[in-house]
Amino acid sequence: MILTVTLILVVIGVLFLWRRRRRAAGTFFALSVLWTFAVGCGPVADWLLRDLQAGMAQDVDHWGQRNVIILLGAGTLRGDTGAVEPGMAANGRILRATELYRACKATGAVCRLEVSGGDAAGLKEPEAAVYSRTLERLGVPADDLLLEPRSMNTFQNAQFSAPLLAGLHPDRVVLVSSAFHLRRASLYFAHFAIEATPVRADYLKSSYDWLPQASNMYMADVALHEYIGIARYRFYNAMGWNVPRVKAS
C-alpha cells in the first residue's frame, strides 16, 4: 500500500511530464520522494502505530471462574520438510496464549483455549489445527483446546467464535493477537456481543533513520491495513452490508 501510493505519485508526475507541464510533474516527483522519506525514515510509521497499539496489556489482571482465551491466527506456511506450520508472525501469539493459559490454570479456574483460523493460505489444513499441534507440544491438553477452523478473516474469527462461546458461558474472555491487530479485532468481537479483554503478543516499533528503511515501510503498511479495516467495517455497518450486530443479553 505504501509502495502503491509512491507509484501513483510517480505515474501522475510522468503524465504531467508527458503533457509538458513540468512544474506540476516536478511537484508530484517531489511528493513521491517526500512520502518515501517520511514513511521510510520512521515518522509516519511511528504516528500510525502509536494510537493503534496504545493501551494494549501484556497480561490479565484477574481471572474468572470460567475463562476462554481466544488465539487469533497469523497465517501458515509449508516449510522445507513439506509440513504445514505456523507462520513467523504466529509464534509470538502462540507463546503468549500458552503463558496465559498456564497462568489461568494456576488459579484453579476453568480455562479453555480456543484457536480461531481457517485455511486462508490454501494449504489444505486450517490454522486452528496447525497451531493446536504446537500448543499441545507446549503442554496445553487437547481436552482444553477448542478449534474454530472455518474463519478466513478477522470478522469471521469473531462470527464463528460466538456460537462456541455461547455453549461455554464464560465469565471472562481474553483475546490474544498482535498489538496492532487488537483494536480492529476487539471491534469485530464486540459486533457479536463478545466482551473480550485484549492482550497483546507482540508490539511493533518504528526506528528513526536518515535513510528510508524497508522495516518502517512494512510497519506503516501494516498499520494502514488496520485503519482501512476499521473504516470499512464502519462503512459496511452504515450500508447494512455486515451481518447484523448481535445485542448483548
| pLDDT attached to residue 153 | 96
Cell of 183: 483494536
Residue 14 has pLDDT above 90, yes or no: no
What are the angstrom distances between the C-alpha of 244 and each of 143, 234, 239?
33, 12, 11
Query: Is 214 buried (19+), middle (13-18) or exposed (0-12) by CB count in 10 A?
Result: exposed
Domain count, the chain: 2
Residues 186-201 have pLDDT tens digits of 999 999 999 999 999 9
Residues 80-94 have pLDDT tens digits of 999 999 998 899 999
114 located within any domain? yes
Mean pLDDT within 105-110: 96
- Distance linking the first and last C-alpha atoms of the chain: 40
CATH classification of the domain holding 75:
3.40.50.620
- What are 86's strand-pairing partners? 76
Residues 15-26 have pLDDT tens digits of 988 888 888 989
Mean pLDDT within 172-184: 98
Identify whether residues 20 and 103 lie together within a single domain: no
| pLDDT attached to residue 3 | 82
Cβ pair 164, 194 in contact under 8 A: no
Mean pLDDT within 31-52: 93
89 located within any domain? yes
